[in-house]
């Protein structure tokens, strides 16, 4: 029989690195049933009959965020065979708070004491055996980043799972807390058993005033009144509220245990180094300019210095493969219509998108390094002051940052925001962050018009999206979303060298997603585009695509874009197909211009745009409503089709206004 492990721990505890060590690239990414919080699951490399689910990084099992609810529900309702609880050994006191709550669930559990190499390097030490005896669970010291202790961790985890070794201790309370928890336990014992919860865990949740637990236990009114009396009496005796009383109880136990098991001689070298670096990178005045400078360097390397030669090689390979395939079809005397579909439609459309794969992989290589090093957490901290001016907190920067990869998970990530106001506002603004699907459009336009300034233009495009988001936030703050953002609290992890395997896996996942999209959505859309531009309304093939079904549709919308500097039906058609996937804009233009080779594509684009109208087009594509998948995510998160349509309308309206201003103001200077 297979074994199922739940991997749980605080954010920034090295959970992702450990998960990658345990599973390699043999993992599946999806969403937890009924919610849009991402989950990763994979098969253990060292034990093929064992699987591990990477639960969202959380600090407690209190139901304040979607992640906390997901973690609790998965452990209680999906019944994993054991929990692997990863704990940051350099910050052990805070990390053990979650451990105590997990132990109350009475599920076999092993603590993976991570970053022990940093503890040793700082001269500190932890009495692992004594700590294990005090907590009543096995503890394995590891260093996920250096791949130390992983084999022993798997061995211990499998042993406790197969032998069903539950934590030997769940009771950490004393005094008035002890009386309250045990009194409530007697009242709810039958209800907890019926609901499938351990009575100790359910009792502490009732002391906290946990509403979801109260509903699941289905308590009678007289039982609820009795529990309320017990907790009120406890609060009066302790002169504090119920939640603070529980937190004090747990931290008192943790302090006592750590006092005897943890020997500290000072801060770790990583922490000391991080404090010195933060004096510069999180500086009050220099923090944001430094971030912008780092991003500019990344764009220059991605789109000019390193990326451009790689893309040229990739394009040459695709062109050679397409040419060989075309000649083979000719030798096979394939029907001209089918030849046109396969070469002018599929190969040209899909190939034009695939040629940008090196740029996307390279960009995510750099972004993965920034994220895994701990710098991105600093950026959220630095951005908090700026975001507060537009009515949001630094926490909203996390979904926006994810939006640089893809708008869909970015919109889903807004569930982590506790304020409904902040959540809706972030959903509206996040698509202004340029997702990776738009990179092929930028690459195509910059190569055709701004080849020597590609890095600067790309950097300016991303800054434009951020600027529009800021201005929109200021407008919405004073109109639709009045009020103040919630306070922002975020832990800043120590700076660490990114694990090469973690970065490579991240690059592989992004590249794989891009290729999958190229051979599914883009593949199908190229067939549709080829058909519509090859046939007239009488369903006879046309010699000139200007007489096609697609041209007649495009001509209806083309006049709308005259003020923006581009009015050809091919462009308006490409923007329409961009609703399916933004990469389709490139494949559509490539097919409609009949440009099988990049040189002819760029020549064709220069007949459709001027450099100024090309900038206007870039501005419109970065800002107008995202793809259908992102729209569906917005509808799900906002709760209504009307709200999603209004959001899309605002985004497209903002895109039109910005593109209009760029073109019309530019004409005043250019003439």
DSSP, res 264: -
93-97, 170-174, 584-588, 630-634: least confident range? 170-174
Window from 85-94, 302-311, 562-571 with minimum mean pLDDT: 302-311
In 64-186, DSSP assigns E strands to 82-88, 109-114, 125-126, 139-141
Q: Which residues have a Cβ under 8 Å from the Cβ of 371 and sit 6 or more positions away?
A: none
pLDDT at position 32 is: 40
* Residue 109 near residue 137, CB atoms below 8 Å: yes
User: Which of 109-113, 307-311, 348-352, 428-432 bottoms out in mean pLDDT, i.e. has the lowest?
Assistant: 348-352
What was the pLDDT predicted at 82? 95
CA 47 to chain centre: 29
Q: Domain spanning 175-263 has what CATH number? A: 1.10.287.1770
Nearest to 659 by CA among 617, 625, 608: 617
Q: Mean pLDDT over all residues of the chain?
A: 83
pLDDT in tens, 461-494: 888 988 898 888 888 887 777 766 655 556 667 7
- Angstrom CA distances, 591 to 51, 330, 442, stand at 45, 20, 18
178 pLDDT above the threshold of 50 = yes
Model confidence band, residue 154 (pLDDT cutoffs 50, 70, 90): very high
Mean pLDDT on 394-404: 73
Name the nearest CA neighbour of 388 among 477, 512, 295: 477
Q: Give the up-direction half-sphere exposure of residue 318: CA atoms within 13 A in the CB hemisphere.
A: 23
Phi first, then psi: give them for residue 25, nearest 5 degrees. -95, 5
Tell me the C-alpha distance between 455 and 90, whole Å.
40
- Give the model confidence (pLDDT) of 270-294 as tens digits: 777 888 888 898 888 888 889 888 8
Token readout for 301 is 């390397």
Q: Is the pLDDT of residue 537 over 60?
A: yes
Percent of the chain with pLDDT over 70: 91
| Torsional sign, CA 579, 582, 583, 586 | positive
Q: What confidence tier does 268 reach under pLDDT thresholds 50, 70, 90?
A: low
Q: Coil, strand or helix: which one is 42?
A: strand
* Angle of CA points 573, 577, 579, to nearest 5°: 130
Partners of 233 in the beta sheet?
none
**Cα-based distances in Å from 62 to 204, 211, 248:** 11, 10, 15
Backbone angles phi, psi at 602, to 5 degrees: -65, -35
Residue 68 has pLDDT above 90, yes or no: no
Please say whether the beta carbons of 37 and 56 come within 8 A: yes
pLDDT tens digits along 416-451: 666 677 788 888 888 888 877 788 888 888 888 888
Spell out the residues 6+ positions from residue 330 whose beta carbon is closer than 8 angstroms to its own: 339
The CATH class of 3-162 is alpha beta
More confident residue, 140 or 78: 140
Task: Kindly tell me the burial class for residue 306, based on how many C-beta atoms sit within 10 Å of its own C-beta (0-12, 13-18, 19 or more).
Answer: middle
Specify whether the CB–CB gap between 203 and 227 falls below 8 A: no
**Sequence ranges of the domains in the chain:** 3-162, 175-263, 287-670
Q: Tell me: the pLDDT tens digits for 603-623? A: 888 888 898 999 999 999 989
Residues whose CB falls within 8 Å of the CB of residue 635, separated by 6 or more in sequence, listed in order:
641, 643, 644
3-state percent helix, strand, coil for the chain, nearest multiple of 5: 70, 5, 25
Looking up tokens 């109880």, which residue turns up?
Answer: 249
Per cent of the chain over pLDDT 90 is 20
Residue 33: per-residue pLDDT: 43
Q: Which of 127-141, 212-226, 339-353 has the highest mean pLDDT?
A: 127-141
pLDDT at 637: 79
């Amino acid at each position: 029989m297979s074994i199922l492990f739940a991997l749980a721990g605080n954010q920034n505890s090295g959970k992702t690195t450990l998960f990658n060590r345990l599973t390699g690239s043999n993992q599946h990414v999806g969403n937890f049933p009924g919610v849009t919080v991402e989950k990763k699951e994979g098969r253990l490399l060292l034990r093929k009959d064992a699987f591990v689910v990477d639960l969202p990084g959380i600090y407690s099992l209190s139901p304040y965020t979607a992640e906390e609810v997901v973690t609790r529900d998965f452990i209680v309702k999906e019944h994993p065979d054991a929990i692997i609880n990863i704990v940051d050994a350099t910050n052990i006191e805070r990390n053990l708070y979650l451990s105590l709550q997990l132990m109350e669930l009475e599920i076999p559990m092993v603590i993976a004491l991570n970053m022990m190499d940093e503890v040793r390097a700082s001269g500190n030490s932890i009495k692992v055996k004594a700590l294990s005896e005090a907590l009543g669970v096995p503890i394995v010291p590891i260093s996920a980043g250096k791949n130390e202790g992983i084999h022993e961790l798997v061995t211990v985890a499998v042993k406790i799972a197969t032998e069903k070794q539950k934590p030997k201790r769940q009771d950490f309370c004393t005094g008035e807390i002890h009386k309250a928890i045990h009194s409530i336990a007697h009242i709810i014992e039958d209800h907890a058993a019926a609901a499938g919860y351990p009575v100790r865990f359910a009792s502490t949740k009732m002391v906290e005033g946990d509403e979801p637990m109260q509903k699941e236990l289905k308590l009678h009114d007289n039982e609820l009144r009795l529990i309320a009396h017990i907790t009120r009496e406890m609060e009066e005796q302790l002169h504090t509220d119920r939640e603070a009383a529980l937190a004090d109880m747990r931290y008192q136990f943790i302090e006592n245990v750590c006092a005897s098991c943890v020997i500290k001689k000072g801060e770790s070298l990583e922490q000391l180094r991080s404090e010195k670096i933060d004096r510069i990178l999180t500086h009050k005045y220099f923090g944001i300019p430094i971030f912008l400078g780092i991003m500019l360097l990344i764009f220059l390397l991605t789109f000019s210095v390193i990326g451009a030669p790689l893309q040229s090689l990739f394009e040459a390979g695709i062109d050679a493969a397409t040419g060989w395939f075309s000649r083979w079809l000719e030798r096979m005397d394939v029907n001209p219509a089918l030849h046109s579909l396969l070469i002018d439609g599929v190969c040209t459309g899909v190939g034009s998108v695939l040629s940008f794969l090196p740029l996307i992989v390279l960009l995510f290589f750099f972004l993965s390094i920034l994220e895994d090093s701990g710098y991105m957490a600093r950026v959220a901290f630095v951005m908090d002051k700026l975001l507060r001016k537009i009515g949001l907190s630094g926490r909203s920067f996390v979904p926006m940052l994810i939006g640089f990869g893809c708008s869909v998970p970015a919109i889903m990530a807004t569930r982590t925001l506790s304020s409904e106001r902040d959540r809706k506002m972030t959903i509206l603004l996040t698509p202004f962050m340029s997702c990776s699907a738009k990179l092929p459009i930028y690459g195509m336009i910059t190569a055709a018009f701004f080849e020597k300034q590609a890095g600067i233009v790309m950097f300016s495009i991303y800054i434009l999206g951020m600027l529009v988001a800021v201005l929109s936030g200021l407008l919405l703050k004073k109109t639709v979303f009045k009020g103040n953002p919630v306070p922002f609290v975020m832990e800043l992890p120590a700076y660490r060298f990114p694990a090469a395997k973690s970065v490579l896996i991240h690059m592989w996942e992004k590249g794989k997603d891009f290729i999958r999209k190229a051979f599914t959505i883009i593949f199908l859309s190229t067939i549709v585009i080829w058909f519509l531009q090859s046939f007239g309304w009488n369903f006879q093939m046309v010699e000139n695509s200007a007489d096609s079904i697609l041209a007649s549709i495009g001509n209806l919308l083309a006049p709308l874009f005259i003020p923006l500097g581009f009015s050809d039906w091919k462009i308006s058609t490409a923007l329409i197909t961009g609703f399916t996937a933004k990469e389709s804009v490139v494949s559509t233009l490539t097919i409609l211009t009949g440009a099988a080779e990049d040189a002819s594509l760029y020549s064709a684009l220069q007949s459709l745009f001027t450099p100024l109208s090309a900038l206007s087009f870039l501005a419109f594509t970065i800002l107008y409503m995202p793809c259908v998948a992102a729209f569906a995510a917005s509808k799900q998160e906002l709760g209504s089709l009307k709200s999603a349509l209004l959001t899309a309308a605002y985004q497209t309206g903002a895109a039109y206004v910005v593109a209009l201003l760029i073109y019309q103001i530019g004409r005043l200077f250019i003439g």
